[in-house]
Structures are given as C-alpha cells and as structure tokens.
Amino acid sequence: MTRSKGTQAHSDNSAVNASITPSPITSAGESLIPEISPSRQPAWNNPNALTPAGPQGHESLALERAKASFDVNELTLLLHGKESLEQTAKVLEVCENDPVFNKDNFFFESRTERFKGSMERGKHIMDICRERGWDDKMIWKFFTIVDEPGPLFLHFSMFKPTLHGQCDDAQKEKWLPLADNLNIVGCYSQTELGHGSNVQGLETTATYIPSTQEFEIHSPSLTASKWWAGGLGRTATHAIVVARLILGEKDHGTHTFIVQLRSLDDHTPLPGITIGDIGPKYGYGSVDNGFMLFDKVRIPRENMLMRFARVEPDGTYVRPPSSKLSYGTMVMVRANIVDNAATNLARATTIATRYSAVRRQFTNPEASKNDALVAQQQQPVETSVLDYPMQQHRLLTRIAQSYALRFTGNAMMVLYNNLMADLAVGKISALPEVHATSSGLKSLTTDMASAAMEDLRRSCGGHGFLKNSGFPEFIADYLPNVTYEGDNYLLTQQTVRYLIKTFGALKKASAHKIDPKTLTQTTRYLLPATSPTFLTEKWPVVAAADLTNETIVKAFAHRAATMVATLAADLATGTQTWTGAQVDINAISKAHCQFVLVENFHLALATDLKASTSPQLHAVLTRLFKLFALDLIQQDIGSFTPYIHIQPQAPIVKQSIRTLLTELRPDAVALVDAWNFSDYFLNSTLGRYDGRVYEALVEAAAREPLNVGENFNVVSGYEEFYAPLIKAPFKAKL
Amino acid sequence: MTRSKGTQAHSDNSAVNASITPSPITSAGESLIPEISPSRQPAWNNPNALTPAGPQGHESLALERAKASFDVNELTLLLHGKESLEQTAKVLEVCENDPVFNKDNFFFESRTERFKGSMERGKHIMDICRERGWDDKMIWKFFTIVDEPGPLFLHFSMFKPTLHGQCDDAQKEKWLPLADNLNIVGCYSQTELGHGSNVQGLETTATYIPSTQEFEIHSPSLTASKWWAGGLGRTATHAIVVARLILGEKDHGTHTFIVQLRSLDDHTPLPGITIGDIGPKYGYGSVDNGFMLFDKVRIPRENMLMRFARVEPDGTYVRPPSSKLSYGTMVMVRANIVDNAATNLARATTIATRYSAVRRQFTNPEASKNDALVAQQQQPVETSVLDYPMQQHRLLTRIAQSYALRFTGNAMMVLYNNLMADLAVGKISALPEVHATSSGLKSLTTDMASAAMEDLRRSCGGHGFLKNSGFPEFIADYLPNVTYEGDNYLLTQQTVRYLIKTFGALKKASAHKIDPKTLTQTTRYLLPATSPTFLTEKWPVVAAADLTNETIVKAFAHRAATMVATLAADLATGTQTWTGAQVDINAISKAHCQFVLVENFHLALATDLKASTSPQLHAVLTRLFKLFALDLIQQDIGSFTPYIHIQPQAPIVKQSIRTLLTELRPDAVALVDAWNFSDYFLNSTLGRYDGRVYEALVEAAAREPLNVGENFNVVSGYEEFYAPLIKAPFKAKL
C-alpha cells in the first residue's frame, strides 16, 4: 500500500508542519518529542509568539498513539481497502496543492459567495478528471474529500442513476452520452411544496395529448410547485420530473419524465417554466435547491422514462411487470445512507477524541494515573479530558457505534448485490425483507449518527461551537439525512408492517414444520416467538462472564420478537388499531433494527473478521461490539423486561460497560486515526492530527474578516453607530 | 388589558394582511372564512397567481382555535402578566413599523453584513429608548423581540450586573453612571483559550505593584488568551477581566478587575492589548465574541472590584467575609436560563404545532374523524398531520414540557428572591441547596429544550430545514446554553455532591427526631430513604385512576432518593470512587431535577394556579402536568424499578398517556397561541398565525439573492464555469 503525504491521517503528517518532527515513542516514560512549536512566530494577534501552557498537543497525541494495542494500519486497510485508499491519496494530493480547493475561507463566505465558489470547484473537478481520464468514481472521491455538496452533486447521485435505472434502451442511447459528457446537467425533481412523504399525493400532471404525441406538464396549484430538488434552482438544464400520468380521464399515478428546463444556448428558463432557488437552509449553502412551476409545458412522448411502464403512441397504457422492480435502487441508496452514517459519526469521533486527548481541565490524580506526561512533570499538570470516565463513556460508545454502523453498511451492500442478482433472474422473494429492514435501518442509523454528532460537538465544550471546530457546518449538512429518502418516523411503519405480516405467516405455519433453509434473518428470530413458552424465557446471565456475544444478541432478538408478537396480538384482538399504534410501531422498528445491527456485527466478528484480522485487532473489535450492544441495552433496559431482570442483571451490564471502557481507553486515539481522515478533509482546528489545537484556533481567528483590512484597527460601523453613543454628553441615569 | 395590533398572536392579527378577514367560528360545521387569498397576485415566481390546493391554512387554524376548551386570553395573562404584555405591545409596535428592524434579509446576509446591521439596530434601540425615556427593562424587551443577540447585549446582561454586584460604593459611584449612559461599553471576560469550566485554572495574572499602586495584567501563555467574551472582539471599551491576583509571591486565585481596552477617542486598542473577533460560530453571528492578550498592562489599584475581597495600598489582602456571597447572581442567571428554556421550547412548539395543523399528508379517515374540513368536502381531503398519533405525541409532550419549565422558572425566581432577602440579613443557610438544585436544573432544562427544539424542527419535515422556517438560526443561537454558565455534565457533579452530603447528614440525624420545620424540598424527599424499609416500598398503582398527582410525584421522589442512597452506600464502602461514578452522578442529578420539576409543577397546581385560574384552564394545566410526568416515566422506566413494576404498571402509564393526548389534542393550537409570540418575533414561514404557510414560502424564495438582480435570468458564474462544460464538444463516454 503506497502512502502519500497527508493521505494517512496516522502516517507522518508532520511534513506539512515542517518544524514538528514526531519521533516514535519507545517507552512511556521517555521524553517524547522535541519541544519545537511552529507557532513561535510573532504575529499581529500573537505579538509575543506565545505557546500553549502545559504539555503540548503533539506530545499528548504521540503518547496516545504509542498506547494502541493493535496495528492502526491493519484497521485502516480493513475499513477502506487498498484501492480506495490509493484513490483517496491521488485526489487528496490534488486538493491540498490547488488553491481552488483551499478551504481557508469556507467559514467566512456568504451563501452567494460560497455558491459561486462551489460552481468554480465543480468545474475544476470536471476539468481535472477529464484531463487525467478519471471516471465518475474519482469525481465522487473529489466531492467527498472537498466535502461540499455542490450544484453538480445531484447530476451524479440522482439524475444519472435514474436514467440508468428507468430508461429503456433507446432512451439510454439518447440521454446517457449527453449526461456523461455533461452536455446536459440534470437534477431529480419529485418533492413538491405540499407533498414530500406522500409521493402518491403529488399534484403535478403529465397529460397525454395523442394528437401531437406529447405530454403536457402542468402545475395546477401553488402546492404543486416542485420544491427542494438540488441543482434545480440555478444549474440544471434538464430534470427528471415525477408527475401524475393522465390518459384521457384516467389518473395512472406518478411516473417519471425527462424535461428540458433551460436553453442550452444561454441557460435562460424555457417558456412556461418558472424556476428559482428556494433560499437559505440550515446547511447545504453550496447547493441550489430549487422550485419550479409548469404552465402547460409540452414534451415529446419519448420523454416518459419507459423501462417499466409505457404509453403507446395512441395513448394505451402498458403496466410494468412488477411495481416493485424499482425498489432495488432504493435499497442501494439506503445502504449508502447507513454507510454514510458510519463515516460521518466516525468523523465526529475523530475531532472529539483528538481534542479530548489534547485538552486538559482540572487536576485529578485518580483520573490521570496512567498519563506519563503528568508523572514526568514537577508541578501539577491538569488531567486530559479523555481520562475522565464521563468523557470516555461519551466518546467510546460513539466510536463503537461508528464501527457497528460500518459493518452493517457492509452487510447491506452484500444484501443489495444478492438482491440485484436475484432480480436479474426474475426472483423477487427477498425484496420485501430487504426493503423493510433497509427502511428501518435508514431511520435508526441516521437518528443515531445525528444525535451522536451533536453530543460529540458538545463534548468539545465551547470551542465546539466555533465553525472552525469542523462541527457546525458538517452537522448542518448531515441533518437532512433524517428527513430525505423517507422521513425517519414514517419509514418505521414500512418496517413494522412487514414484521407483522411475516409473524402472522410464521404463526399460521408453525403447526407444520418450517424448512430451516427458507429462514431469513428476520424469520429466524421471529419464529421462536410463535411458541407459547417464549414469553417466559429468561436471560441466562448471572455474572459478567455470561455476557457472551451470543447471549447479547439473544437479548435483542427476544425483545424485538416480543414486541412484534404483542402488537400482532393487539391488532388481532382489536385492542389497538394500526393508526393508533404509531408510537409503538416506531419503538418496534427501532428494536428490530438494533437487533439487526447487533447481529450483523456479531456475524462479521464470527466469520469475515475472524478470518481476516490479527488476534489483537479482533480482540479490540470484539470489545467495540460488546460496548455497542451493552450500551444500547443500558439506555433502554426497561424495554428488555421481563426477559432481562433489572435486578440483578442491570448492575452486571453496567459493570461490564465500565470494564470495557477501561480496556478500550488506550486504543481511543488509534481507533479514530484508523478512519484515515486527512486534516484537509476534516478542516477542523480541534481535530488536527498534530494536536496544534490552540495555535490553529488563534491562526483561524486572525483571518476573520471583522479583524482585517478596513476593520483592522476599528471595525467599520463604529464611527456611524457607536461613536455617537459613546461620545454623547454625560447625562444622569436614564 | 389593552391589546395593540399584532401584539397578541391570538388576537385579530389579520389586520396586517388586510385581505384575510377571519370571522369567529360559531360552530364546527359552518363554512368558516371568506375564500379570499392575499396571494392571488401574479408575481414573477407565481405568474398564474396559484393558490394552495386543499383546505387553506387559515381555515385549518380557525377550526383548531374554535376547538379550545379554555380561554386563551386567560392563559396568556397568566403566563406573562399585564405589565409585560403592555411593554411587549409597545416595543412590537415600534419594531413592526420601523424599517431598521425589518427582518426580511436576516437569512440572506453574510456574517459581516449581519454584524453591521446588528450595530445599527443596537444604536437605534438606544436612541429610541433615550428619546422615549424607556429604561433597561424596555431595552431588554427590544433585544428579546428583535431576537438578535447583539454586541451591546453583554453590556446589559453581564457588565452592568457585575458592576452592581461586585463594586464597592466608591466604585459604583464612578462606573455605574458611565455604564448607564453608555459612555463606556463593557463586556465580561473570564473564559480563556485553555480554560473554561475550570475557572480556578485561569492563567491571566494581575500582579500588584505596591510602588505605583497598580496591577499589571499579563497573559503568560497562548492558552491564557481571553476567548469567547461577547462584545469584546470589536465593540467594548472596557472589560471586567477575571485574573489571578498575585501579591508578592503569593497567588490568591481569581478576582475581578475592570480594564479599559480601547481609546474613548478613536476606539483603537490601548497599548499592550491585542484584541479581535474569534471568528464565525454555529449561531450568534451578530455578536463579536472576542480574544485578548495582555502584555504587562497597568491598571490602578482601584480597578479591582472590591465589594468582597480587597487589596490595601500596601498590598495587604483582605479576605471576603464569605466566598459564597457572589453565588446569588449565579442563581439568578440560572433561573433566567430555566425560564428561557421554557420560552424557547414554547417558541418551537408554536411553529411546529401551527404548521402541523396546516400541513396535510395522506388520507387517513380514522385519524381525520374529528376534522370538520374533511367532513365538509365531496372529494377526499388529506389528513392534517396534527391528527396522527405519532405527531401528537411529539408535539404535545413538548408543549407539556414548555409549561413545566415555565412553572419551575417561576419557582426558582421565588427561591432567588427569598435567598437574596436572607443574604441581606446575613443568613446563608439556604444557599447550598439553592445552588445545587439550580445547577442541575440548568443542565436538565437546557438539555431538554435543545433536544425538543431539534425534534420539533424535524417534525416539520423538509421545510424545517429552511432558514425561513424560523428554526435553524434560532436553534443554533440557543445551543450555547448547554455549555455556558457551567457545562451541563460538570454541573451535575455539584448537584450530586450536595445530595450525598445532605443524605449523609440526614442519616446521622435520623436516630434522633428531625424538626419538620427545618425540612426543605430536598431533605423532605431524601429523609424517607434513610429508613431500612424504603427500598421495599412499591408504587401504589393498579389502575389508571391511581395515577393521581401525588402518586406521580412520589415515583420521582422515590427514584431520586433511591439513587442517592445507593451511591452514598457505594462511596461509603469504597465500591465506587467519586471520579469513577461520573456516569451515575449525571443520572442522579437528572433524577433529582426531574423530581424538582414535577413537584414544582404539582405544587403550583395545588396552590397558586388553583387560586388564580378558571376550572377549565386548571383542568388543562393538570393534564399537561400528568402528560409531562408520565412521559418522563415512560422514557426511562427502567430507572424507576423496583419501585415501579414494569409489569403491570408500564401499560397503565402508556394507556394514560394516550388518553391524555386525546384529551389535549383539541387544545394544541390554543396552548401554543397562549404564549403570544408575534409573527414579527417568530420570523417563520411555517409558524405564521394566519397559516399562510405555502404563500409565505414562495414569497420568501422570491427574495433569495441568487434569484434576483444580476442573477435573475441566469446566475452569475454560469458563463465562466458551466457554459464551457455544457458547450464542450460532444465526446464519447469519459
């Protein structure tokens, strides 16, 4: 594996800051790193060239890295694979050295400036990739590492995949080369001002006119305005438009059409199309989410995407062979969302864990007992925040979550690939389960990641509120994940509908023998709940040693199956209605998906990871698995009763969590380093690989526009607004 | 009570939008409001003057308002009082009619623009208040209603109160008139780059020089840089500086000093003072949080604030009579934070509840069964989102929280006033308990409010991600509450330290009789836990009717007392150390403070509210109390065992919550209207009093800078960046 400068966050990044020369640590007691600080240059905002008090950040991090119980390179390779690491290195080298990709001013720009910058960077990425012959995968690497959802983003993430998935062969031949070549720039326009979740309620119509063989696209009301599509507002020349297909008097529901929006000559909107940007958002300032109204806009019949449903020239409707065929794409999108949840959560743990190692607050000898930097000093040294049990709990449980999500993301990709292979030969039997589980997982994992990211930001104290901490824009950009591709609450209904149906079928069948070969992940854990003795079973845990991987997974299976069986019974007896049970349904989906996360992680440990990792690394991953699962149990232990007896089993869980935190503590920094996020990507003063946190905060403040140029000595506006107040003649109390 | 236009959100606000004329509803079945929509004006972005499909927003809200079981004006008066409502009306009238206070461009401005605007608004507020002879209370009303923390904010919230609290009489005479008259503008500079929570670890020194009777203020390291103080960066002429007092060789720890920072002639920083803005943050863009380094800056001895500790001219240190005298201010600040948590949470419930009434999604006859607008129509009408049980649960539990926090905020103000009366006559016995409970309450209530605000934002679906929803900036501005004035995790240690100490004292005393007159809120609930039979007690609930206010409060008291007793025993036996128990300590503080919230709300219902409210309103508030408390039990029911038996008591709790949600559903909109937030204050497209949500969204988008001026037809940057891509000669697939 080739490592290029800066690519590997845990490799020798110090070349970037030439005056720090980290040397490997041979034993904890030795003097660590030469005491040279690169900030010893007087600057207007640091005229005495002061350095931070106490142990320097790079010293603390070097000590942490020396403590790791496993080889961080092994884990990096496991997480990313050689090919991806090499691609990352290539793109990173371009980004770090090209001023167009410099992020120094990201946090100072207005939205208008940022959007224009994002256009420039988008163009630059395309030019570079064309010049070097790099494909869409490399374009995607650029988007990821520059870390800016731009106006061209949706062309690659939604427009092209939809053309691939929903065009018939003739349409593919026409549109794909244009899209590949960027002679057209596309977006995906489904959501309307009045309808998001309820896709079947969309109002835009596509009425077929047999005489001219055209569709007339029309917005009948204000709420029919297309709304939210990224890239629509100011960029796209074409859109995939989701509209109700009207043939004669009959409404055939929503279908997809390709519509040209803007002139390819001068980019002005075409007649009948009103279009614009919907305005500023929490995050995504670099994307032109748009609105659009159609006033009887005509498009040729051939612009309906016809791989599945078709309209013949005479207006005859040809039904698709199965309405579920397009679900495959949805599963892939959701698998990507789960994997993104892992990566984003890992990014937040990286910043918070590194900063917690550097940051010292109060002097607590008990907490600092393993800190060689404290032992070395004559005078009292404050305790690294990472040494406080509360902070360890906050950080390490989230580190464990990031790994759990990653292994489930991997498992979902395998499921998706199997599913696509099935669909290719006409088998659709696996679709309902994959769809149900992926819906609930999207909901659970994005909730988990967004909550964790915000708590990790808070774990950095006040400095986590600064944009240059790397948190605020990153979190704001992540937040739409809980809403788009299915609102997190609504999705859980789809999951539980499948579980109830499956449980009913198992119950009917249980009198007979069920062929074990037909059991899937879901049916395997639900089946025992059809037995009358199921509810009387108890968790076989009387001491910490009983908390094996298997008993832990069993607790999650038992809880989820109990909840499904209870709701099924309530629905059957009419004690509950489906609508009335919404709050329960949400909890059941969460329980099911927590089981899936825990079982997938467990299975990976027992199979792939067992085969592919060193014993040291396997031991660390097993601890992360246990911490992840036991923390989930402790958070909501009431829901595991009566299978788990709170007395005396809750204290056993609690004690095991403490032991795991102590065992994992020395690996904390190595576990975040392994994700291999570069400083360029993180763009964080607090999360720097070299620990120069305080120097970086001061350097970033020096660039603030309110401190420089015309504002340098006195801020613009002082003379106009404050001088008259301050210099007003002295009066008695107001 | 005089009501002026727009002041009362639930009064006839429609005068602002002259073409809507809401008429009172006489019965649910009647046709409601004239079908006139003010958006029926063609506009560039709505050329066909389209209106929303389905029932109009104002119809849905009118129907909701007609359902209320109580008089909304009665509740408004209870929440705010006549005087405050009249002050609000006066300020609102100014803000709504003065272009300087117009908020239309708030979401479009860069930070630099916003900051300058904020200077202008600050100046304008001062001018208006001087002209009209309005006092600081009215200035504060302006800050609240304009809803923009500005550079002058800290002058009023921290600088002046500190002068009042910590100056001796001679100092007050010198500084207060200058501060009152704004001849000096101040800030409060305590936190440093390297120290926030650990105030005792601050590094800035104030070394006394007896020969000149001066202090030398100095920053010995980079981490000693003052950091975060609001108003410091570009505005303040003076600062209260917290620094270590050094007399000869001896370090007396942190004390407060007043330091002039900038010239009163030209506002340039004085020699030896390096100063600037720390850069952009999550929120608070309109505040210049600053950094500052001192290079041996001399100030006169008289600039040490000497109400408590003193330094004599010869350098003799005079100790303060009690180190706890300054805690009074801290209690007041925290009481304000609790009350702010209530108001901010209520603001979020207002936006989410009104929008949920207007927004319709899917057609669900069961959920819509009480919706007269659905019954009226011939064709199917979608279900108001507020009619879905999941949404009701999310909104109504948060509405209940907002009221619970308000009544605790009130109770804390009473405590504070009693405390100050005590302190005035030298009694400090109440201080430890008030300090402990207020610390934990600050932590619990700000966590509760911030979590609720974000979930309420998400409950608005995608549109909650738009800045003009009123959520993103508002939430970002609120978030520092969980960190400042004591980090939420650290504070809980102060709370529990007091509880453990108190429990120990009660235990020792319990053999003897304790005088019931000496019992406080905390000792009253902890005392029973000193009995050996306490842990065997059971919750006396076998049916929903047993869930009286008293049994509910008892559950919270029992849980908290059990947790305190358990930790006390563990610490006594050495099973746990204080540092090792941090995770438990956090949970105990939460349990204690939930008890305080529940008991305070209960006490208010039994006394003040019983006397002052109509039976209808008292019934509604009682439901809110029960929903608030039972929801907290359900969320973490495992922690209530073994006092609560999950089987069969959890289902009783669950069923009661459902009943309460059904009972409170018709009052949802009235309960948020009662907080009386004006449209001007909310600045929200989704939370408008008149329900014109979709029209407002479209109107706001029309103002987006990317859509207007030079960007109108084609966005600036297209020619430079996209045209070359789109017009590139067609090539084969990349």
Q: Mind spelling out the 3-state secondary structure of B503-572?
A: HHHHHHHCCCCCCHHHCCHHHHHHHHHHCCCHHHCCCCCCCHHHCCHHHHHHHHHHHHHHHHHHHHHHHH
**Token digits of residue A136:** 């869409």
**Beta carbons of A465 and B472 less than 8 Å apart:** no
* A231–chain B Cβ distance below 8 A for any pair: no
**Beta carbons of A366 and B224 less than 8 Å apart:** no
A residues 506-545 near B, CB within 8 Å? none
pLDDT given at position A323: 64
Q: Mean of the pLDDT values across residues A662-678? A: 98
Residue A230 labeled ligand binder:
yes
Lowest-confidence segment of A416-430, B99-113, B202-216, B473-487 by average pLDDT: A416-430
Point out the residue among A135, A228, A465 whose CB comes nearest to the CB of B483.
A465
Q: What is the pLDDT of residues A221-240, one digit of tens each?
A: 999 999 999 999 999 999 99
pLDDT given at position A330: 80
pLDDT given at position A10: 40
**Beta carbons of B362 and A201 less than 8 Å apart:** yes
Residues of B serving a catalytic function are: 485
Percent of chain B with pLDDT over 70: 93
pLDDT given at position A512: 66
Answer whether residue B353 shows pLDDT above 90: yes
- Report the distance separating Cα A612 and Cα B160, nearest Å: 65
SS3 of residue A515 by DSSP: coil
Which architecture characterizes domain B160-321 according to CATH? Beta Barrel (2.40)
pLDDT given at position B514: 82
pLDDT given at position B323: 63
8 A C-beta contact, residue A703 and residue A104: yes
Q: Mean of the pLDDT values across residues B658-687? A: 98
* B233–chain A Cβ distance below 8 A for any pair: yes
**Beta carbons of A201 and B468 less than 8 Å apart:** no
Percent of chain A with pLDDT over 90: 82
pLDDT given at position A516: 80
pLDDT given at position A509: 85
Q: Mean of the pLDDT values across residues B538-556? A: 98
Point out the residue among A47, A198, A720 whose CB comes nearest to the CB of B362.
A198
Q: Which residues in chain A are closer than 8 Å to B227, comparing Cβ atoms? A: 697
Residue B353 labeled ligand binder:
no
* B723–chain A Cβ distance below 8 A for any pair: yes
Answer whether residue B669 shows pLDDT above 50: yes
Q: Which residues in chain B are closer than 8 Å to A46, comparing Cβ atoms? A: 222, 274, 293
Q: Mean of the pLDDT values across residues B258-270? A: 97
pLDDT given at position A76: 98
Q: What is the pLDDT of residues A21-31, one digit of tens each?
A: 333 333 333 43
Point out the residue among A291, A461, A647 whose CB comes nearest to the CB of B701.
A291
List the beta bridge partners of residue A300: A214
Q: Mean of the pLDDT values across residues A616-637? A: 98
Can you spell out the DSSP letters for A379-391? S--PPBGGGSHHH
Answer whether residue A511 shows pLDDT above 70: no
**Beta carbons of B694 and A382 less than 8 Å apart:** no
- Report the distance separating Cα A102 and Cα B158, nearest Å: 39
pLDDT given at position A332: 83
Point out the residue among B283, B467, B714 whose CB comes nearest to the CB of A279.
B467
β-pairing verdict for B317-318 and A186-189: unpaired
Interface test with A, best of B137, B458, B586 (most A CBs within 10 A): B458
Query: Using CB atoms within 10 A of its CB, is residue A319 exposed (0-12), middle (13-18) or buried (19+)?
Result: exposed
pLDDT given at position A733: 43
**Beta carbons of A728 and B181 less than 8 Å apart:** yes
**Token digits of residue B517:** 């007159």
Interface test with B, best of A454, A468, A734 (most B CBs within 10 A): A734
Q: Which residues in chain A are closer than 8 Å to B183, comparing Cβ atoms? A: 726-728, 730
Q: What is the pLDDT of residues A45-104, one digit of tens each?
A: 999 999 999 999 999 999 999 999 999 999 999 999 999 999 999 999 999 999 999 999
pLDDT given at position B41: 77
pLDDT given at position B325: 64
Longest dimension (CA), chain B: 96
Whether A120 is a known active-site residue: answer no
* Residue A728 banded pLDDT, cuts 50, 70, 90: confident
For A582, nearest residue in chain B (alpha carbons):
B390
Answer whether residue B262 shows pLDDT above 60: yes
Q: Mean of the pLDDT values across residues A571-597? A: 96
* A574–chain B Cβ distance below 8 A for any pair: no
CA distances from B8 to A115, B30, B194 (A): 40, 26, 46
For B726, nearest residue in chain A (alpha carbons):
A183
A with B: how many residue pairs have Cβ under 8 Å apart?
Answer: 453
β-pairing verdict for A186-189 and A238-247: parallel
Lowest-confidence segment of A670-684, B313-327, B534-548, B602-616 by average pLDDT: B313-327
pLDDT given at position A570: 96
8 A C-beta contact, residue B461 and residue B614: no
A residues 377-406 near B, CB within 8 Å? 382, 388-390, 393
Q: In chain B, what is the straight-line distance between the N-terminal and C-terminal CA atoms, in Å?
A: 73
pLDDT given at position A39: 53
List the one residue out of A231, A622, A548 whose CA is nearest residue B715: A231
CATH class, A329-355+382-670 region: mainly alpha
- Report the distance separating Cα A372 and Cα A387, nearest Å: 12
One-letter amino acid of A110: S
Q: Which residues in chain B are closer than 8 Å to A54, comparing Cβ atoms? A: 194, 223
One-letter amino acid of A613: T
pLDDT given at position A4: 36
Q: Which of A485, A550, A599, A719 is catalytic?
A: A485
- Report the distance separating Cα A531 and Cα A527, nearest Å: 8
pLDDT given at position A731: 59
**Beta carbons of A694 and B222 less than 8 Å apart:** yes
Q: How far off is chain B from A209, nearest CA to CA, in Å?
A: 22
ipTM: 0.94
The torsion angles phi and psi of B265, rounded to 5 degrees, stand at -85, -55
Q: How far off is chain B from A287, nearest CA to CA, in Å?
A: 11
**Token digits of residue B446:** 């700000």
Answer whether residue A377 shows pLDDT above 90: no
The angle subtended at Cα B290 by Cα B285 and Cα B293, nearest 5°, is 165
Point out the residue among B109, B276, B734 whose CB comes nearest to the CB of A45.
B276
* Residue B326 banded pLDDT, cuts 50, 70, 90: low
B residues 169-188 near A, CB within 8 Å? 176-178, 180-185
SS3 of residue B257 by DSSP: strand
Considering chain B, tell me which residue range(s) the CATH 2.40.110.10 domain(s) occupy: 160-321
pLDDT given at position A31: 37
Q: Which residues in chain A are closer than 8 Å to B178, comparing Cβ atoms? A: 730
Which of A312-321, B35-44, B684-693 has the highest mean predicted lDDT (pLDDT)?
A: B684-693
Q: What is the pLDDT of residues A135-180, one digit of tens each?
A: 999 999 999 999 999 999 999 999 999 999 899 999 999 999 999 9
Cβ count near B560 (within 10 Å): 25
**Beta carbons of B694 and A193 less than 8 Å apart:** yes
pLDDT given at position B330: 80
Omega prior to A642 cis, within 30 of 0: yes
Q: Which residues in chain B are closer than 8 Å to A650, comparing Cβ atoms? A: 638
Point out the residue among B116, B195, B281 whose CB comes nearest to the CB of A717.
B116
